[in-house]
Amino acid sequence: MKIIMLGAPGAGKGTQAAQIAEKFGIPHISTGDIFRANLKQGTPLGLKAKEYMDKGLLVPDDLTCDLVVDRIAQPDAANGYVLDGFPRTIPQAEALTKALDARGEKIDFAIDVEVPDENIVNRMGGRRACSKCGATYHIVFNPTKVEGVCDACGGELILRDDDKPETVQKRLGVYHDQTQPLIDYYMAAGVLREVDGTQEIGKVFEDITAILS
């Protein structure tokens, strides 16, 4: 089962992707993790990506797609995967479709987690990240056992610049410009399914599981 998670930043698609991966025994693949792994291992693709990142440039679509295709070709992804954070643009989606076609494969479901912008601004303002291990929490929906302290490693929790209201508004603007067209792309491909992301996390997961089953 090959799944793509769609939704605005803060819609909760990462949380849902992790739960889907666990339930169906398939890897949860995020572009951030792929970049970090390739940089750490010093792979040729990772070194290529580093050249752009060091200059503060976005990694080009074709290189990002190469990194993703390399990852989904690993043995643990033989029975499927959940892609989280990729594709972000139509060129990336087209590159992925082309790469999968070449392997005789296709995406089975593109799940769009729908949440209005105002909910997202409020939601992300409550997010906190561990300054040490990067684990994320929410002061209302997913609080730590001890306020301000990471459950996983005991590190200090911070409000990332990414989660500040003014930054969130900017990110939502970029999302609507670039990523929203993906919804039309996957709808045309007949694989788009929408879920109401304003519901309680468990209910959203229930709805997604019903779609995938």
* Residue 7: closest CA among 64, 119, 85: 85
Determine, yes or no, domain membership for 132: no
Measure the CA–CA gap between 57 and 36, rounded to whole angstroms: 16
The reported pLDDT for the residue numbered 37 is 87
The reported pLDDT for the residue numbered 146 is 95
Which CATH number goes with the domain that contains 197? 3.40.50.300
Determine, yes or no, domain membership for 79: yes
Which residues of the chain fall short of a pLDDT of 50? Answer: none
Beta strands in the chain (DSSP E): 2-6, 28-30, 81-84, 109-114, 127-130, 136-138, 157-158, 192-196
Determine, yes or no, domain membership for 160: no
Determine, yes or no, domain membership for 62: yes
Total of domains in the chain:
1
Determine, yes or no, domain membership for 147: no
Determine, yes or no, domain membership for 49: yes
The reported pLDDT for the residue numbered 48 is 87
Active site residues: 13, 88, 127, 160, 171
Sequence-separated (6 or more) residues with CB below 8 Å from residue 183? 6, 110, 112, 192
The reported pLDDT for the residue numbered 170 is 86
The reported pLDDT for the residue numbered 137 is 92
Question: Could you list the residue range(s) of the whole structural domain that residue 184 is in?
Answer: 2-116+171-212
Q: What is the pTM of this model?
A: 0.79
Determine, yes or no, domain membership for 184: yes
* Residue reference for tokens 């306020």: 147
The reported pLDDT for the residue numbered 49 is 86
Determine, yes or no, domain membership for 122: no
